């Protein structure tokens, strides 16, 4: 009796043995992770919240505009949390209901040695850095400067403009120029300034001209793990989830607060 | 049929090469074909001309600095074989393998206000970051290897006897260099200069970190493109098409008759 000829599976043995565990792992019960696209300024807060949630969450963070471009192009996102409502509106057709997540504030971050004590002293800064008008942090800065001009005069604004040495392309780059000692003042998010610790001193912006950046959140229609994504967003907006954002300085938006997105 | 001529390429090899040509041609072609006139108008209103002018001026300065400082260095590297020469060669090669953003951080660490030479520079009243000078330094740093190394290689392959003959006929070292060495190494010089200039023209990462982004002061065309991409993509693509056009003009101009005559390749 002849032994049966070895089938193709036997001849391809080594490869199959290498690949089989990978294939099986892919079929295992591991649930598909919720993929959160979060604004750069939300990164650490969102990562903390993701780690605390009872389920797998992957956080991707970049400038809100970059994330909006990616979502518009069909990137596999489950949840979108940009730094301004305008960026959620830009991709509204790919989102379920957009709801408020958290509010932030803009502060004037100055070098520890700077003699800028109050916001009004801003023209005394020697090198001021802002975001470009296209990114949320830069758009909010433009709103603050416009309101400040109404209060302190156009001359004040002109002197401030003359101090601007760079318009950086995301919120973290703006702050980095001060922490590295290249600039001595920058308009940044309060949360980012707090995270920088002693490297910068945060000078508050007077209430009358302050802006309140609003961070919305929405589940992406047809995104991966849609049911889990809805659960995650509900949890994030409720007491326990929000506490992780609050630890990083984010606050609840007061009801009826007007949208300060400067676009 | 000559051996080694293009026609000697077997069909399969020709297909392989053609595939790469198609792959390289498609993205720029798509970029240009999908552009509307409105995109150029938006780009012009978005400050494209100022960015283009800054790119041209700074890269021209970078190219001049490469000719002035890079040519003597290439000569020295090409004519020396010692350990010192090899160490310097490795040093010159370094920027080519350094990610540009890292180069920017390194430039800040050296010439920034908080950097190694920040205090002495401040004493002289000089602040480098956020100035057009920082743009040129960033370009010089990343582009230098592309000019110096090919030229050093060409100098190394130069026939020693030709130089000695020139000297024995009464030519001084400078005359021997300009009349013999430079024309013989002209193609390497022009080729290296073109690639280095193009690298400077496209420089983005090191410039953004070291020089920042301020329209009219430090916003070069590549940085203008990136800033525009934060908003609408149309103007950014129009600016990118202009940048490609400038690069093409540059490559053609550097191989034109007047330029070749200048380095002695033509009479």
Rounded to an integer, the average pLDDT of B128-156 is 95
A65 vs B: CB within 8 A: yes
CB A86 within 8 Å of CB A215:
no
pTM score? 0.80
Q: Please spell the DSSP secondary structure of A216-259, one letter per residue.
A: EEEEBTT-TTHHHHHHHHHHHHSHHHHHHHHHTT-BPPPTTPPP
Task: Say if the Cβ atoms of B213 and A69 lie within 8 Å.
Answer: no
B213 vs A: CB within 8 A: yes
Q: Tell which wins on pLDDT, A13 or B14.
A: B14
pLDDT at A8: 43
pLDDT at B3: 54
The CA-based angle B17-B18-B22, given to 5 degrees, is: 125
Residues A125-152: pLDDT tens digits?
Answer: 999 999 998 888 999 999 999 999 999 9
Q: Which residue of A has its CA nearest to B211?
A: A166
Task: Say if the Cβ atoms of A169 and B113 lie within 8 Å.
Answer: no
Burial class, B251, CB count within 10 angstroms (exposed 0-12 / middle 13-18 / buried 19+): middle
- If one counts every other C-beta atom within 10 angstroms of the C-beta of residue A28, the result is 6
In B, which residues are within 8 Å of A175 by CB distance? Answer: none
pLDDT at B121: 87
pLDDT at A239: 92
Q: Tell which wins on pLDDT, B267 or B144.
A: B144
A181 vs B: CB within 8 A: yes
In A, which residues are within 8 Å of B231 by CB distance? Answer: 65, 134
Task: Say if the Cβ atoms of A182 and B114 lie within 8 Å.
Answer: yes
Distance (Å, rounded) from C-alpha B249 to C-alpha B151?
Answer: 22
Task: Say if the Cβ atoms of A166 and B113 lie within 8 Å.
Answer: no
In B, which residues are within 8 Å of A127 by CB distance? Answer: 130
Q: Which residues of chain A fall short of a pLDDT of 70?
A: 1-30, 255-263
Nearest-neighbour CA in chain B from A55: distance (Å): 33
H helix runs in B125-232, sequence order = 132-156, 160-168, 173-176, 182-184, 186-201, 205-211, 221-229
Measure CB to CB from residue B212 to each of A63, A66, A168 and give the nearest one.
A168
Task: Say if the Cβ atoms of B112 and A180 lie within 8 Å.
Answer: yes
Residues B165-212: pLDDT tens digits?
Answer: 888 888 888 888 888 888 889 889 999 999 999 999 999 999 999 999
pLDDT at B67: 95
The contacts of residue B251 (CB under 8 Å, 6+ apart) are B194, B198
The contacts of residue B166 (CB under 8 Å, 6+ apart) are B175, B176, B179, B180
Q: Which residues pair with A214 in a beta bridge?
A: A103
A62 vs B: CB within 8 A: no
Measure CB to CB from residue B129 to each of A63, A168, A182 and give the nearest one.
A182
pLDDT at B4: 53
Residues B208-243: pLDDT tens digits?
Answer: 999 999 999 999 999 999 888 777 788 999 999 999
Task: Say if the Cβ atoms of A169 and B230 lie within 8 Å.
Answer: yes
Strands A79-81 and A34-39: parallel
A255 vs B: CB within 8 A: no
What percent of chain B stands above pLDDT 90?
58
Residues B61-73: pLDDT tens digits?
Answer: 999 999 999 999 9
B117 vs A: CB within 8 A: no
């Amino acid at each position: 009796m002849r032994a049966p000829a070895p089938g193709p599976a036997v001849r391809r043995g080594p490869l199959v043995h290498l690949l089989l565990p990978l294939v099986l792992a892919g079929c295992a019960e591991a649930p598909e992770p919720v993929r959160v696209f979060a604004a750069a300024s939300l990164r650490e807060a969102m990562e903390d919240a993701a780690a605390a949630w009872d389920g797998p969450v992957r956080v991707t963070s970049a400038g809100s505009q970059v994330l909006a471009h990616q979502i518009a192009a069909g990137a596999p996102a489950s949840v979108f949390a940009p730094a301004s409502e305008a960026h959620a509106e830009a991709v509204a057709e790919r989102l379920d209901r957009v709801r408020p997540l958290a509010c932030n504030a803009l502060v004037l971050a100055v070098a520890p040695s700077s003699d800028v004590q109050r916001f009004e002293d801003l023209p005394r800064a020697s090198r001021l850095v802002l975001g470009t008008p296209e990114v949320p942090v830069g758009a909010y800065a433009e709103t603050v400067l416009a309101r400040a001009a109404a209060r302190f005069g156009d001359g004040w604004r002109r002197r401030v403009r003359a101090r601007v040495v760079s318009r950086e392309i995301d919120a973290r780059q703006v702050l980095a120029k001060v922490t590295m000692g290249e600039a001595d003042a920058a308009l940044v998010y309060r949360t980012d300034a707090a995270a920088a610790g002693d490297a910068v001193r945060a000078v508050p912006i007077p209430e009358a001209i302050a802006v309140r950046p609003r961070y919305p959140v929405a589940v992406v229609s047809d995104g991966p793990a849609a049911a889990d994504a809805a659960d995650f967003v509900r949890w994030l907006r409720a007491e326990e989830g929000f506490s992780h954002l609050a630890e990083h300085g984010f606050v609840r938006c007061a009801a009826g607060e007007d949208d300060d997105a400067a676009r | 049929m000559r051996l080694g001529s293009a026609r000697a390429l077997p069909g399969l090899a020709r297909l392989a090469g053609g595939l790469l040509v198609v792959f390289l041609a498609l993205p720029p072609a798509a970029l240009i074909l999908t552009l509307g006139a409105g995109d150029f108008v938006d780009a012009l209103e978005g400050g494209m001309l100022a960015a283009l002018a800054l790119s041209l001026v700074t890269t021209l300065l970078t190219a001049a600095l490469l000719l002035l400082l890079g040519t003597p260095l290439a000569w020295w590297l090409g004519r020396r074989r010692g350990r010192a020469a090899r160490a310097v060669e490795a040093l010159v090669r370094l920027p080519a393998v350094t990610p540009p953003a890292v180069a920017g951080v390194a430039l800040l660490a050296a010439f920034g206000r908080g950097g190694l030479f920040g205090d002495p520079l401040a004493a002289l009243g000089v602040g480098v970051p956020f100035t057009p000078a920082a743009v040129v330094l960033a370009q010089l740093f990343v582009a230098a290897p592309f000019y110096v190394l090919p030229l050093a290689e060409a100098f190394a392959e130069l026939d020693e006897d030709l130089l000695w003959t020139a000297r024995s006929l009464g030519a001084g070292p400078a005359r021997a260099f300009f009349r013999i060495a430079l024309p013989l190494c002209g193609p390497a010089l022009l080729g290296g200069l073109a690639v280095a200039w193009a690298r400077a023209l496209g420089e983005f990462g090191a410039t953004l970190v070291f020089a920042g982004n301020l329209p009219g002061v430090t916003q070069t065309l590549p940085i203008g493109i990136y800033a525009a991409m934060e908003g609408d993509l149309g103007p950014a693509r129009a600016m990118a098409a202009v940048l490609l056009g400038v690069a093409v003009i540059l490559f053609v101009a550097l191989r034109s008759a007047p330029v070749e005559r200048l380095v002695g390749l033509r009479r």
